[in-house]
Homo-oligomer: A and B are copies of this chain.
Amino acid sequence: MVRVRMSDVAARAGVSTATVSMVLNGVNGKRISPETQQRVREAAEAVGYKPNSVARSLRTQQTRMVGLISDTIASTPYAGRMLAGANDVARDQGHLVVLVDTERDAEAERLALQALNGQRVDAIIYACMWHRMVEVPPGLPEDAVLLDCAPVTGGRAAVVPDERAGGMAAVRELVAAGHRRIAFLDAEERFGLVASGLRYEGYLAVLAEAGIEPDPALHVRAEPVAGGGREAARRLLDLPAERRPTAMFCFNDRMAMGAYAEAHRAGLSIPGDLSIVGYDDQQLVAAELDPPLTTIALPHYEMGRWAMEVALGVRQADPAVPHLMPCPIIRRASVGPPPAQFGD
């Protein structure tokens, strides 16, 4: 791996490095004769010249690198989709992404920010792997973009999923199928999930628009994992027949997985006896349940793209209010009409 410098190209082409630079960068204000351009290009090709971005960055004050600080890359399967979205945009714009995982540690965050600042990255994205409200870490540049989190103080470009609309889409799907007794298997409040309140708002909004009186007994809370979903489903199925739900909207796909298990135990078929909608479109799971789960997808890829587009100035953002990214419904096979005795 020999290092070829611009001066090597210049020497071979019999010109100065200035000329080489202008030719190779296609500087348009300057006029270089076509013959010289040709010679320079051939020389560069011949010696296998590859520009040294470090030197270029020093001079131009841009590194064409974007820092991506994330609170956890390891522990969620969604992280990849965000990274992919951000990465695709970065690539198209000729940028590279520098990834730092801070594991939600304030000191690590400080260090990361310092390192990225030292590397003079052109922009910074601060990403969370769960939709959260965050205290913006001190030292985060004004123009940093927040991804899947919103600043408690406001005033930063940020993108989060439109959880309320997602909740509405889920419940509308059930209402459209004819259900009127629709349960919401929510996460317990102690987990402090902002998604929980918003999805519930969506749930209530659609019931209202459909003229359905919400039944408090159908809003149950549990741990947002399969076990919790199972337990919540059991409580609902234990209700007297006339108060029992014909459909369940689950806070996430894992709870839906638990609800499936409990439905099977109770001898109920899905969607014949019970319809279920999840949330997250968790890869390797939602599509593999039996029957495949109708769910609301979290738009991680799109949010990753959005954040990178704003970071690189391809798109403008209003820092006053977080951008709400739509959560599309993924229709599979877990929703059907309510059982006959409940039909109308």
Contact = CB atoms under 8 A, between A and B. Distances in A.
Interface string A60-98: 000101000000011111011101100110010000111
Contacts of A52: 58, 118, 120
A55 B288 CA distance: 52
A155 interface: no
Given A54-B58, A65-B98, A288-B226, A80 B87 contact: no
A50 interface: yes
Contact of A285 (B98, B101, B230, B285): B285
Contacts of A100: 87, 91, 96-97
A227 B87 CA distance: 32
A72 to B, nearest CB: 8
Given A74-B83, A77-B283, A97-B99, A55 B58 contact: yes
Nearest to A265: B264
Interface residues of A, number: 57
22 contacts: A52-B118, A53-B119, A54-B119, A74-B80, A76-B80, A77-B80, A79-B79, A79-B80, A83-B99, A83-B101, A87-B99, A87-B100, A96-B98, A96-B100, A97-B100, A99-B99, A225-B288, A227-B290, A254-B284, A254-B288, A258-B290, A284-B285
Interface of A: 1, 50-55, 57-58, 63, 65, 73-77, 79-81, 83-84, 87-88, 91, 96-101, 108, 111, 114-120, 141, 225-227, 230, 254, 257-258, 261, 264, 282-285, 288-290, 301
